[in-house]
Amino acid sequence: MKIRILSVLILSSLMEFAFISPESGNEYTELKIVDYQVFKKGERLEYLAHYGIIHAGKATVEISKGSHYVNGEMSTKVVGKGYSTGAFDFFFKVRDSYITYMNTETLEPYRFVRHVDEGGFVFDQEYNFDHNERKVVTEKNDTVDVPPGIQDLVSAYYYARSIDLDKYKIGDVLSFKAFVDGQVEPIRIKYIGKATINIKSGKYRCFKFQPIVQSGRVFSDPDDLVVYISDDKNKIPVLIEAKVIVGSVKLELLKADRLVHPLAKL
């Protein structure tokens, strides 16, 4: 089974999102955005990936310190990397990279580049977004119509961090769209409440979310995926736990550098 380390980190990359109604609460598609800065250039997050009891790899997400332009527009560049380590690297080598250039203010993506190398399975993707025309041009030169506010795998992660979570109640579902593997996919995440968790790097206050997933190919039960987000103004993923059909996957925060706000660490 391909363990896509970085894809687990970025919630929007979970391909099993389903079109189902929430059991309680309301579903929101016009999301409330905070009025303060959530992240800055130079921010770097590092995660440790576990597959069962095995330390399977690491993942990093970093905002470039430089200035970048796409089609003459100032943009923020984000680079994500996922790679296997130790014995897992010997049996199943993973070398994934994700790059996005997004609008600094709206967080809408301009360009997305993805390279996947997992156990010898290799492919590349490149998407160029035209938000005025509401179109995406792929690496195959295909043109796809997209809705307004469309995200990519990486920009969706930063967009989600900008949502004002204090405006929602337990049971509410937050919903938006991302362009994934050549098509528009729904991203739907249910707010479960708050929790305090202990991991290797410390003890954290967190928001608890449950991405709405479809049982079957990857998950045996819709409740098998839980995400813990720091209960502070950074709103970074601290822990992701997933029970999959062939075992369990866990991703936990190791380091967080150059955050804008104090981390909710106890």
Write out the two tokens for 159: 């967009």
Burial 73-89 (b: 16+ CB within 10 A, else e): eebbbbbbbbbbbeebe
**pLDDT at res. 263:** 97
**pLDDT at res. 210:** 87
Placement of tokens 């980190």 in the chain: 9
Q: Mind listing the pLDDT tens digit for each residue in 187-230? A: 888 999 999 999 999 999 999 998 875 444 444 555 678 899 99
**pLDDT at res. 245:** 63
Domain boundaries, the chain: 5-257
Provide, for the chain, the percentages of residues in helix, strand and coil under a 3-state DSSP scheme, each rounded to the nearest 5. Answer: 10, 55, 40
Quote the CA–CA distance of 127 and 180 in Å, as a whole number. Answer: 10
Is the torsion defined by CA of 124, 156, 194, 202 positive or negative? positive
**pLDDT at res. 8:** 43
Placement of tokens 């160029």 in the chain: 128
**pLDDT at res. 20:** 37
Q: Which residue from 113, 122, 158, 111 is spatially nearest to 9, judged by alpha carbons?
A: 158
- The conformation of residue 232, written as its DSSP 8-state character, comes to S
- The conformation of residue 202, written as its DSSP 8-state character, comes to E
Q: Which residues of the chain have pLDDT under 70?
A: 1-25, 213-223, 244-247
The answer to whether the beta carbons of residues 50 and 250 sit under 8 Å apart is yes
The upper half-sphere exposure of residue 235, i.e. CA atoms within 13 Å in the direction of its Cβ, equals: 20
